[in-house]
Chain A
Amino acid sequence: MHIKDLGKIEFDEAYGIQKETVQGRIDKIFVDTLYLAEHEPVVTLGRLAKPNSVLDENALTRNSIRILNTDRGGQATYHGPGQLVLYPIIDMEIFGKDLRRYLTFLERFALRFLLKYNMNGMRKDGNRGVWVNGKKICSIGIGVRRWVSYHGVSINIDMDLKPFSYIKVCGEQHAEVTSVAAETGEPADFRIAKVFAKYSFLECYEDLKYE
């Protein structure tokens, strides 16, 4: 697996890189690839977003937070500095071409990542993502083309959580959100978070060979 840190990058630019990589993966020019990224403030609307997914458009404008439509699954989410975003471009043959197995894999990765901080994440029945103490810390939304994945996972590391209140997070009216820093009560180093994320992802990915 190839892992590349895109650093701080606009959402649209990272999306363009993903689409090119998806085509390269379909054409078997590239191996499975994991991109790590951090975005400038942006609200993205998935394909199943509703007219009321944005609760306070004025607040978004006031804070220079753009709203973008995207082709991922799910509804609305927020990305901003201090949130780690992972974009796995993976040939889903290794998940038996089963979307649910892949989504469950992404949750397993997030749970393993949180364990590095001695945090116990939880899943919720009927709702994708990972929660800590009842608050959402990780959101998931993917796209698939020719059984190659794009879009992915975001995990709140150490960030301003206020912008989440301007939207219905994944369709939930009063979804409480949290971050690694908020739960541990101390600042969380973003570089260390990226190292933890790389290792956690590789561990889960390697595990697939033995399932």
Chain B
Amino acid sequence: MDIKIPVLAEGIEEVIITLWHVKEGQSVSKDSDVVEVATDKATFNIPSPADGVISNILHTEGDTVKVGEKIAEVI
């Protein structure tokens, strides 16, 4: 299942990845924190959409990514 940048607010179109809580190959449970992103004086922790293993991390900390963009997978 894809992990994507969710809609965080009306008008916010991109965010900065500030911290990966997990590494590729790491087991995660649904709703556990996967990655922290920052925008407009806020940080937001994106949770895992499912139980599984993290794979295919597509961006590193400091990258700017668009809302809706896929950043990793949980398989």
Given known pairs A98-B9, A100-B11, A145-B33, the reply for A73 and B19 (CB within 8 Å) is no
Indicate which residue in B11, B12, B19, B43 contacts A144 across the interface (CB closer than 8 Å).
B43
Select B41's contact among A98, A128, A145, A146, beta carbons within 8 Å.
A128
- With A47-B36, A99-B12, A146-B31: A72-B47 Cβ-Cβ less than 8 Å: no
Q: Which residue of B lies closest to A103 (CB)?
A: B41
Of B10, B12, B43, the residue contacting A142 (CB under 8 A) is B43
Contact between A142 and B45, CB atoms less than 8 A apart: no
CB <8 Å contact, A48 and B38: yes
A98 to B8, CA, bound (A): 6
Residues on A with C-beta less than 8 A from B18 are: 47-48
Given contacts A71-B19, A144-B45, contact A99 B36 (CB under 8 A): no
Residue of A with least CB distance to B11: A100
Are A73 and B47 in touch, CB under 8 angstroms?
Answer: no
Interface string of A62-102 (1 = CB under 8 A from B): 00000000011110000000000000000000000011111
Given that A47-B18, A100-B9, A101-B9 are contacting pairs, would A141 and B41 also be in contact in the complex, using a CB cutoff of 8 Å? yes
- Judged by a CB distance under 8 angstroms, whether A163 is at the interface is no
Chain A residues within 8 Å of chain B by Cβ, number: 21
For B12, list chain A residues within 8 Å (CB): 99-100
**Docked CA distance A131–B18 (Å):** 28
Q: State how many residues of chain B have any CB contact under 8 Å with chain A.
A: 20
State A128–B47 Cα separation when bound (angstroms). Answer: 26
Q: Enumerate the 3 nearest inter-chain pairs by beta-carbon distance, A residue then B residue, closest first.
A: A100-B9, A73-B42, A99-B9
What's the minimum C-beta distance from B44 to chain A, rounded to whole angstroms?
5
CA gap between A146 and B48 in the complex, in Å: 10
Interface centre among A46, A47, A99, A145 (most CB of B within 10 A): A99
Complex CA distance for A71 and B18, rounded to whole angstroms: 9
Interface hits, B2-43 → A, CB 8 Å: 8-12, 16, 18-19, 31, 33, 36, 38-43
A132: CB under 8 A from chain B? no
With contact pairs A71-B43, A142-B41, A143-B43 given, residues A48 and B9 touching in the complex (Cβ less than 8 Å): no
